[in-house]
Structure 1
């Protein structure tokens, strides 16, 4: 598929799963950035439509998930590989979506939103756009965020550019956030929070709310 994304080192759109070449490329990395797009925010009602991945060399892949699809073996092997850190922004949602739709148990996890809340206590703004702007110096265009991701074979160039850019700067932000957390003596706390994300995601999937409140 040809698309006018000139900034990434490479960009590919795949159907249903990673191909072998792309799996090998991503598997050679110590960390990859991940994001997902869905039809909405309710697990079990709103299906997963797209999975985006970027490696430290700025190679981007977007995997279109078809209606009714329940597995993606190559993607599963990558995201469950314990030697590769998976970096998300608000991992809690993406991890639940991947488990609910493709039976993928993501591990290990770094969440830039959690890291921002623990590290950037001087700011009330922890959205991806604000975090990337401050730490990486890139202004993200979020106009395509709320759009129809279900028409996977007809995604517009604008949607694909948006999807790619949502992962392209996560690894750079992660490095800055980890440095900040270590400097402020909060790295151990952040790592403990990351380890809780799969449990919180499972609670979300099964509609448990306010579980830890009185």
Structure 2
């Protein structure tokens, strides 16, 4: 395990799986980094997790051809599939599809800050994580490493810092967005959307992203 200490966070890099016995609490923030946006073509490289305590745990997957062990990650899979643990995402639709395709798990129940933002922040079309962190938390995120090579065997400190930032603030965003959903009377609607997300991700994997199954 490699550990990186940032100004306000600690980042642990684990190769292949989470350590046994790691407790990330009842609500765990989750994100993924891939080689691209097509799960059938672009492999999963990294899964980031945080309990919302200023610490991020990053699980790196290395292909067997490069000396790794593929996606044999029983501890991570057990956590993601735990029905008693809420998984917190930003744009859960993509991450759920990736996790299902590569790890064979449905990471439910889940909660999505992007959907919550779209249901409440109808005065803007800016619902990215960077926008939400700035507008709701007063935190500026750097997206400089967003398009970097996540398939590298050795990830740079800047890549690790970027990956960690995608999960470190999701708990605080959930708190703010839950308040907005309650204020606007849309909390029940949001929960219904979250329950549907695993099915939406499964439809995407079957090729129903375009054309949309729900289109006319």
Calculate the TM-score normalised by the size of structure 1.
0.93
Structure 1: state its 5+ residue gaps. none
Aligned position for 1:34: 30
How many Å separate the matches in 2 of 1:21 and 1:13?
A: 16
Q: Deviations over 1:144-163 (max 9, x none)?
A: 00010001x31011000000
1:87, 1:109 within 8 Å by CA — same for their partners in 2?
A: yes
Aligned position for 1:80: 81
Structure 2: state its 5+ residue gaps. 65-69
Q: Deviations over 1:178-198 (max 9, x none)?
A: 111011100000001111111
How many Å separate the matches in 2 of 1:70 and 1:206?
A: 21
Calculate the TM-score normalised by the size of structure 2.
0.93
Aligned position for 2:119: 118
How many Å separate the matches in 1 of 2:195 and 2:187?
A: 13
Question: 1:6: how far off?
Answer: 3.1
How many Å separate the matches in 2 of 1:84 and 1:66?
A: 27
Aligned position for 1:212: 214
2:46, 2:58 within 8 Å by CA — same for their partners in 1?
A: yes
Aligned position for 2:105: 104
1:49, 1:65 within 8 Å by CA — same for their partners in 2?
A: yes
Q: Which sits farther off after the overlay, 61-70 or 159-168? A: 61-70
Question: 1:2: how far off?
Answer: 4.3
